[in-house]
Structure 1
Amino acid sequence: MRIAIAGGGLGGLTLALILRKHGMDPVAYEREADRSARSQGGSLDLHPESGQRALAEAGLADRFRSTARPEGEEHRVLDPAGRTLVHHRPPPGSFDGRPEIDRRLLRDLLLDSLPDGTVAWGHRLVAVTPRPAGGFRLAFDGGGHADCDVLVGADGARSVVRSLLTDAPLFPVATLAELTISDADRRHPELAELVGPGNLWCVGAGRILAAQRLGDGSIRVGVTLPADAPADAPADGRRVDTKRALLDVFDGWNPGLTALIEAGDGPPTPRTIEAMPTGTRWTHRPGVTLLGDAAHLMPPVGEGANQAMLDAAELGEEIARNPDDPDAAIRAYEEAMFARILPIAEMSARVQSMMLSPTAADDLVRFFAPRPA
């Protein structure tokens, strides 16, 4: 059985590793030229019931613990004046919660556990064609081709494989601009102390200024605005490609907070955050399925990578249990995934809306308030 995985991100690599653990030989086709072709983004909090569970099933629990940062789970929520509204401190050295790990390190952990040849670098998928005898032919940028019996789309928000199963649209949910502050402890010690070892969220009416400590000592700064920012915001709220425009957005905020923008190494990198309609599902089609953002793109509130890795673990285990009938394995995976993802996607949409609401500060205080057992 020739299994092709479109995409070499966290979900696709987790699936490849679990399938190899069960004696199969999948190939993950990745558009990037190599593992260092681009930045892998910020840090992730891996949840015990999803991301950590997937790593355990892949046999990487101990290696994850040796790399992750439990102190990175610390987070604070501030108002525009710089007052602390919420401050969560995890127990020192505890992995019972949601320890942080840099995306780059997590991806390297998965790649280093796979033999050479499992990932076919520099293969950007441009088309998929069903084959008359079953399976699919994959066409890559530059003219290359490959055939497979089973195809898994782990190719992210702009998935090529998704069109085989659903025409669900993508819609904008926010505008994001990101900056990086390198070597923060030496160059900007006051900002390093402000952010601490984990995450900092500064929330006001319809805007968020966030910062996150990475394992290499840098700080990743993100500005989030509503997708439908009002017309009186700078350039319709969407021109967030200069520091000056971002500082105008946060005019009147505590200068100690907006210093995070000024300290960025270069100009901000803007992008639109999109999501798929909550409850998206498709009719089963033999030999093909989706996982992660290709299957259920959600607002980025901490579930995306975790659910992608859990998708991979559950799909891999289903195929391993029923290798002679992959369609039955895919069908079982899809039904379980649809049921699991629906409440998570609904929650993610609510949290995204709450964080950009006029009452975000009060809402977040209530959200993080301790609940009765």
Structure 2
Amino acid sequence: MHTPVTIIGAGLGGLTLARVLHVHGIPSTVYEAETSPTARAQGGMLDIHDYNGQPALRAAGLIEEFRSLILEGRQAIRVLDRDGAVLFERADDGTDGRPEVLRGELRRILLDSLPAGTVRWGHKVSGVRALGEGRHEVTFADGTSVVTSLLVGADGAWSRVRPLLSDATPQYIGRSFVETFLLDADTRHPASAKAVGGGSLFVPEPGKGIQAHRESGGTLHTYVALTEPQDWFAAIDFTDPAAAAARIAREFDGWAPELTALITAGDTAPVLRPLHALPIGHRWDRVPGVTLLGDAAHLSAPNGEGANLAMYDGAELGKAIAAHPDAVEAALAEYEQTMFLRGAEAAAEGTQLHEFLFGDHAPHSLVAAFTEDDLS
């Protein structure tokens, strides 16, 4: 394999690709805008699925390291109504079908598995251009550049690589999350801790809802969902955390206090997370020397599949390159055709999940979906 692989983005997908390539003796370089592995908090819990995320880690030779990260009991699920009454509850069955780990810890084991110098930190992409014959030049904000004959955009929703392949841009889906954290909740916020339970909490209603995870150390990580235009959120001053939390909580007047406390008692400033998606079924014609993975390729409404799909994309692309070392274009074509299909399927499922969560029949639609899943 003589073609240097250049990966833009040191998220889970890009790192999985780099690791699978390394397992097969193929060098790569990952360019990341962040200045260090600890420059930014890496988000909360991820459920890693036995049909995509776990096979990706197995291909990366990291399944045992992954298992050491699992937080026991976090597969538990409960659905409450606005009064705090339990509508559905399922205990962690211990099967490891969707075990929960912290995103930052998962990223750490991927980083630790790569040769020193594989990731080049502090390289923010400022431009990408085609040079012909499958070669591309990537320019960085510091004025440096690199020329590569195999470029992979693993750079997320606002990918700088995507325009080489597609004119599509993510569009706001009409809903945003507001993220909050309660720390040491079992001691400091026992009612809220009891409401969340041992794993994941869903309290959905038409157009809005509260979702929370129990993380490590008694941390409760909450996403408050509201179906409102972006202008509505722009009118809230998020530089005033208390006022912003109070404004968001007003949308949940009359809800049980242990639920609204997940918003108003936060130990960190509330963070607005607008939700965007690419068109379902997003695809492109084969362009020599470049491809995409993860959110750069198939960003969709959040449905628990994003990180799993990114890692699976990375593993499948790495395996395809290794299987066709002298026919990289064949490898890319093979990878893209299956990636397009799974991305479209996951995006459609995500749209359906949001209907269960926030459609006219919530919360009963979500309870029905979970009940059918239990029976299947």
Q: Percent identity?
A: 43
How far, CA to CA, are the matches of 2:275 and 2:110 in structure 1? 26
> Which of 307, 316, 319 in structure 1 is aligned with 2:318?
316
Q: Which residue pairs with 1:32 in the alignment?
A: 34
Deviation at 1:132, TM superposition (A): 4.2
Q: Aligned letter for 2:306?
A: G
- The equivalent residue for 1:123 is 123
What amino acid sits opposite 1:263 in the alignment?
A
In the alignment, structure 1 residue 102 sits paired with structure 2 residue 86:
no
Q: Are positions 1:203 and 2:200 aligned together?
A: no
Moved more, 144-153 or 354-363: 354-363
**How many correspondences in the alignment?**
367
Is the 8 Å Cα contact of residues 176 and 271 (structure 1) preserved in structure 2? yes
Give the Å deviation of 1:351.
1.0
Out of 60, 65, 68, the position equivalent to 1:66 is 68
Residues 1:291 and 2:293 are matched in the alignment = yes
Q: For residue 224 of structure 2, what is the aligned residue in structure 1?
A: 223
Deviations 1:247-297 (A, max 9, x none): 101011111211111220133111211001101100000110000000000
In structure 2, the residue corresponding to 1:77 is in which secondary structure?
Answer: strand
Secondary structure in structure 1 of the residue aligned to 2:7: strand
Out of 261-270 and 276-285, give the one that drifted further. Answer: 261-270
- Partners of 2:108 and 2:164 lie apart in 1 by 30
Q: Give the TM-score of the pair, scaled to structure 2.
A: 0.94
1:85 to 87, 94, 97: 87
Within 5 Å, give how 1:1-373 maps onto structure 2.
1-91=3-93, 93-95=94-96, 97-132=97-132, 134-173=134-173, 174-228=175-229, 235=232, 239=236, 241=238, 242-370=244-372, 372-373=375-376
Counterpart for residue 241 of structure 2: none
- TM-superposed CA distance for 1:227, in Å, is 4.1
| Bigger shift: residues 20-29 or 216-225 | 216-225
In 2, are the aligned partners of 1:208 and 1:224 still within 8 Å (CA)? yes
The two structures, once aligned, show a CA RMSD in angstroms of: 1.7
Give the whole-Å Cα distance in 1 for the aligned partners of 2:34 and 2:260.
34
Residues in 1 aligned to 2:337 and 2:228: alpha-carbon distance in whole angstroms:
32
Q: Which moved more, 1:68-77 or 1:237-246?
A: 237-246
| Cα separation, partners in 2 of 1:238 and 1:75, compared to 1, 3 Å | farther
Structure 1 residues 238 and 336, CA, compared in 2 at 3 Å: closer, same or farther?
Answer: farther
Calculate the TM-score normalised by the size of structure 1: 0.94
The runs of 5 or more residues in structure 2 that have no matched partner are 239-243
**Which of structure 1's runs of 4+ aligned residues deviate more than 6 A?**
none
- Unaligned runs of at least 5 residues, structure 1: none
Partner SS, residue 313 of structure 2: helix
Q: Which moved more, 1:317-326 or 1:188-197?
A: 188-197
